[in-house]
Structure 1
Amino acid sequence: MDTQQLLEAEAKGCFDFFWNEANSDKNSPGYGLILDQSKNKKVASIASVGFGLTAIIIGIERGWITREQAYERTKGTLETFLNNVEHESGFFYHFLDMQTGKKNEAFYDCASIIDTTLFLSGAITSAEYFGGEIAALFDKIFARVDWNLYYDEKVNQYYMGYTPERGGFGHWDMYAEQMMQYVLGVASPTHPVPAKIYEGFDRRKGTYGDYEYVNSPGGALFVHQYSHAFIDFRGVVDGDGNEWFENSVKATLANRQFCIDKSSEFKTYHENSWGLTASASPTGYRVPGAPPYHPNCAPELEGTVAPTGATGSIVFTPEESIAAMKYFYENHPQLWGEYGFWDSYNLDVSPPWYSDHVIGIDKGITLLMIENYQTGLVWDLYMKNKYVQRGIEMLGWKKKEESRI
């Protein structure tokens, strides 16, 4: 299989997950909800739906579904979120009952700002692609979100979680995957937060090998990917001179180099088997990552590699990411299934372990980044949205040639 065929096969597998593992019963209160992961048929994830809405657009453009099929599913999904899905002041619960749209009690965590933001970002691409009634539905959903519920003015940061019982808790006090939250929060037409919130989180630079960059506490790759699936940071610089696209390039290269450096300790890690990020593992869901770690935040490594780590970074490191994809496909047939690459594998246990399921957010970041690498479609749709444009202007982000830095 050549490179183009492999990219197409993996993209189609990702799309098939989002299309096939959705609630397709038009009479169900949960119509359009998408599984959190393929093995548990009862639990939906709002982040998975966000990626899935964008996947539908990619499916149209690649001829996998008709525009009519896509429009019907998209409209129904947004109506489900407007009318049925449980929320707190517009923030949806992370995990939902697949049939009812109510918070899943077995997986109950919180009304989630980051997962709501991922859903909203997917809905933005739908609004821009279809316009009309789809855009009107998005506007209603977006206008309902009270970003101040999640704003802790005392420390000028977003809370990480919220429940009616606890109120807001934790803080987005460091750089991670939350950059979309600042764009959408300040641009809200009804309940905005002040633009100064962007100044509230720590940009802690560190070094690994030849790479100096701002890293998150545990160094998982997804934190350098998720906002970049939607926001085109190429050539963009903020008021402090941060170039977040280049930061993700360095973080990805450092993650790969760390796996190379650790190859004498772990059989799974080497130059074409890399990408430490949140994924399934032999012992459950884990979040490994690469240094520089924040103090006391170094994760315990046990040899698991997830293809989404490399493939989700294809816009940052195309040559290295494609080499990894080819290695996974050609050398580990057990890692390939009905939805493309299974979630992860580990050669450092006996017998070697291969995941038997996929996770929605991992297939989502893979599909969107492959599309951005090949066509830029997701970036083009997201970046022309009026709220996104307003938010970026309010935050003072500029193209490098427009900046004085």
Structure 2
Amino acid sequence: MKRLPLFILCLCICFAASAQSSLRSLTKGKYADGPDSITPVGIIKGLSDEQLLETVQKQTFRFFWHGAHPYSGLALERSNSVKAEHYWDYINEAWDEPNFSKTEFGKDAGAIGGTGFGIMSTIVAVERGWIGRDTAVRRLIQIADFLINADCYHGIYPHFMNGRTGKTIKFDRLDDGADIVETSYLLMGFLCAREYFTKDTPREIYLRKRINQMWGAANWNWHTNGENKLYWHWSPNNGFDMNFPVWGYNECLITYIMAASSPYKGIKKSVYDGTWAGSTGFKNGKEYYGYILPLGNYDKDKGGPLFFEQYTFQGIDPNGLKDSLGNDYFLQGKHHTLINRAYCIENPKQFKGYSDKCWGLTAGDSYKGYVAHSPENDRGVIQPTAAISSMPYTPKESMEALRYFYYELGNKIWSNYGFVDGFSIHHNWYAKSHLAIDQGPIVVMLENYRTGLLWKLFMKIPDVQNGLKKLGFASPYIKGNN
């Protein structure tokens, strides 16, 4: 083979490099339009509050961007693998279903609710310039296209799904089908995306079309089973045998709001009134540590885990939100958080490490497996997401906790995906895991605290406003309801 003269070879190399550079220039803005990767950082000294918030949000978002399932784009349920029985440690530590216990969560296990949180986090990432807009749209289309062809039951998705095959990963012998609560989180995220990605470009038009298909297909009314309440699960194999009504007050408020907001297959107000809203146990009104807790019949639990005040309110703005009985949802979130913090300061079980800067009990990983931590179920484990995601309610107290976690404990709990899921100074245990449902609220609730971005997007949706009005809520966002 005849060799090219050296100078011609150099010219060819230079031309190729120039052409490649020109191609990058041409495609930037048309396709790439911004970064497509995020470099992790370690502990950076001397950050202002705003810089620290940005750093924590950005690094936490890496879980959804770099840690997503490579085939479907779904948020993985967790960054590690864990046997299924560990999810039930807080319900029954003698779980004894051997066939089910062989199931592992991780690897290909996509979280439907966590994916909704990840979609909302992706909007934040675009708005803050961490990733390119079109790059993000491509990822969301990847997710939407996958879900359109995945297991779905009357428009309702399962709790966990194999991110490669789209098949349901059963959570229980009876819980092997639709999960209406997780689906409400997913569609909350997608509706926010529909409101944000409004450009008249082929990809954004296509994404909105896909979202409308999913929103229109969800048959919320099916989950009433002909009664005035929603049932959490339905299975093609077991029907409503799980027999688990969506009760409250807890993280499921968004499920009733979404179900009432659907213009296609939505519920009547009587369905909402048939659950906690119509029960005598809906209101609490008791005082703990000097704070009155408006809602929740939790005499011993002092409000329950803090995710009750975070999941729904990633999209629903609690500021000025009141129901027909006059309950103030911002006050509920604030007081619940302050009660949780005050309990940790009191520290009746004398766990090492608890303080006014180290607090926050909610569901997450522990040395005992996955546990719904609360004052009633306190095992000495702090979840960073509990205090951090409470920033809109308790900015001063949450910022103190955030600075403590980052600067004092960062060498043990700060990772390439932000803070690990949990830790216990008392037991000298520090998680290696990250969970989608804990990572998402950190990104989203910090953004709502900083700019109200997701609140503004979600609350302006006419369907959502109609759903809130149908259920008797008042909000500054609702037209004619100010």
Once residues 453 and 171 of structure 2 are traced to their aligned partners in structure 1, the CA distance between those partners, rounded to angstroms, is 37
| 1:329-348 paired onto structure 2 within 5 Å | 329-332=406-409, 333-348=411-426
Assess if the C-alpha contact under 8 Å between 1:268 and 1:304 holds in 2. Answer: no
| RMSD (Å) for aligned C-alpha atoms | 2.1
Name the stretch that deviates more: 263-272 or 354-363: 263-272
Structure of greater Rg: 2
Matched residue type, 2:57: A
| 1:233-312 paired onto structure 2 within 5 Å | 233-262=318-347, 265-290=350-375, 298-299=376-377, 301-312=378-389
Q: Please, which of 363, 381, 386 is the counterpart of residue 457 of structure 2?
A: 381
Query: Does the C-alpha gap of structure 1 residues 101 and 404 become closer, same or farther in structure 2, counting only changes over 3 Å?
Result: closer
**Aligned partner of residue 287 in structure 2, secondary structure:** strand
Partner of 2:61: 15
Shift of 1:348: 1.9
| 1:77-92 paired onto structure 2 within 5 Å | 77-82=143-148, 84-92=149-157
What do the CA deviations read for 1:98-120 (whole angstroms, capped 9, x no partner)? 21111125777342111100000
Once residues 255 and 287 of structure 1 are traced to their aligned partners in structure 2, the CA distance between those partners, rounded to angstroms, is 13
What do the CA deviations read for 1:194-218 (whole angstroms, capped 9, x no partner)? 1122222141303322122213655
Residue 192 in structure 1 maps to residue 245 in structure 2: no
Residue 315 in structure 1 maps to residue 362 in structure 2: no
Once residues 364 and 276 of structure 1 are traced to their aligned partners in structure 2, the CA distance between those partners, rounded to angstroms, is 17
Matched residue type, 2:190: A
Residue 211 in structure 1 maps to residue 291 in structure 2: yes
Shift of 1:392: 1.4
**Aligned partner of residue 159 in structure 1, secondary structure:** coil
Matched residue type, 1:335: I
| 1:71-150 paired onto structure 2 within 5 Å | 71-82=137-148, 84-105=149-170, 109-110=175-176, 111-131=178-198, 132-150=205-223
Name the stretch that deviates more: 114-123 or 40-49: 40-49
Query: Does the C-alpha gap of structure 1 residues 384 and 401 become closer, same or farther in structure 2, counting only changes over 3 Å?
Result: closer
Query: Does the C-alpha gap of structure 1 residues 98 and 243 become closer, same or farther in structure 2, counting only changes over 3 Å?
Result: same
Query: Does the C-alpha gap of structure 1 residues 230 and 250 become closer, same or farther in structure 2, counting only changes over 3 Å?
Result: same
Once residues 156 and 388 of structure 2 are traced to their aligned partners in structure 1, the CA distance between those partners, rounded to angstroms, is 30
Q: What 5-or-longer segments of structure 2 have no aligned partner? A: 1-46, 81-105, 199-204
Once residues 153 and 247 of structure 1 are traced to their aligned partners in structure 2, the CA distance between those partners, rounded to angstroms, is 32
TM-score w.r.t. length of structure 2:
0.77
Assess if the C-alpha contact under 8 Å between 2:337 and 2:394 holds in 1. Answer: yes
Once residues 166 and 259 of structure 1 are traced to their aligned partners in structure 2, the CA distance between those partners, rounded to angstroms, is 42
**Aligned partner of residue 392 in structure 2, secondary structure:** coil
Once residues 339 and 399 of structure 1 are traced to their aligned partners in structure 2, the CA distance between those partners, rounded to angstroms, is 35
Name the stretch that deviates more: 192-201 or 281-290: 192-201
Assess if the C-alpha contact under 8 Å between 2:76 and 2:110 holds in 1. Answer: yes
Residue 180 in structure 1 maps to residue 265 in structure 2: no
Assess if the C-alpha contact under 8 Å between 2:69 and 2:108 holds in 1. Answer: no
Matched residue type, 2:166: G
Query: Does the C-alpha gap of structure 1 residues 223 and 216 become closer, same or farther in structure 2, counting only changes over 3 Å?
Result: farther
Assess if the C-alpha contact under 8 Å between 1:215 and 1:251 holds in 2. Answer: no
What do the CA deviations read for 1:65-107 (whole angstroms, capped 9, x no partner)? 111101111122112112x221111110111112111112577
What do the CA deviations read for 1:2-44 (whole angstroms, capped 9, x no partner)? 322221111011211101122344xxxxx22120111122211
Once residues 252 and 452 of structure 2 are traced to their aligned partners in structure 1, the CA distance between those partners, rounded to angstroms, is 21
User: What percentage of residue pairs aligned between the two structures are identical?
Assistant: 32
Name the stretch that deviates more: 372-381 or 179-188: 179-188
TM-score w.r.t. length of structure 1:
0.91
Residue 3 in structure 1 maps to residue 68 in structure 2: no
**Aligned partner of residue 244 in structure 2, secondary structure:** strand
Q: Please, which of 205, 220, 224 is the counterpart of residue 151 of structure 1?
A: 224
**Aligned partner of residue 167 in structure 1, secondary structure:** coil
Q: Please, which of 443, 446, 455 is the counterpart of residue 370 of structure 1?
A: 446
**Aligned partner of residue 230 in structure 2, secondary structure:** strand
Once residues 276 and 136 of structure 1 are traced to their aligned partners in structure 2, the CA distance between those partners, rounded to angstroms, is 40
Residue 48 in structure 1 maps to residue 114 in structure 2: yes
Shift of 1:264: 6.2
Shift of 1:127: 0.6
**Aligned partner of residue 100 in structure 1, secondary structure:** coil
Once residues 221 and 268 of structure 1 are traced to their aligned partners in structure 2, the CA distance between those partners, rounded to angstroms, is 19
Query: Does the C-alpha gap of structure 1 residues 188 and 400 become closer, same or farther in structure 2, counting only changes over 3 Å?
Result: closer
Once residues 419 and 477 of structure 2 are traced to their aligned partners in structure 1, the CA distance between those partners, rounded to angstroms, is 39
Query: Does the C-alpha gap of structure 1 residues 106 and 173 become closer, same or farther in structure 2, counting only changes over 3 Å?
Result: closer
Once residues 323 and 188 of structure 1 are traced to their aligned partners in structure 2, the CA distance between those partners, rounded to angstroms, is 40
Q: Please, which of 34, 48, 58 is the counterpart of residue 75 of structure 2?
A: 34
Q: What 5-or-longer segments of structure 1 have no aligned partner? A: 26-30, 291-297
Partner of 1:28: none
The number of residue pairs the alignment matches comes to 388
Matched residue type, 2:68: A
TM superposition outliers: structure 1 runs of 4+ over 3 Å: 105-110, 399-405
Name the stretch that deviates more: 33-42 or 121-130: 33-42
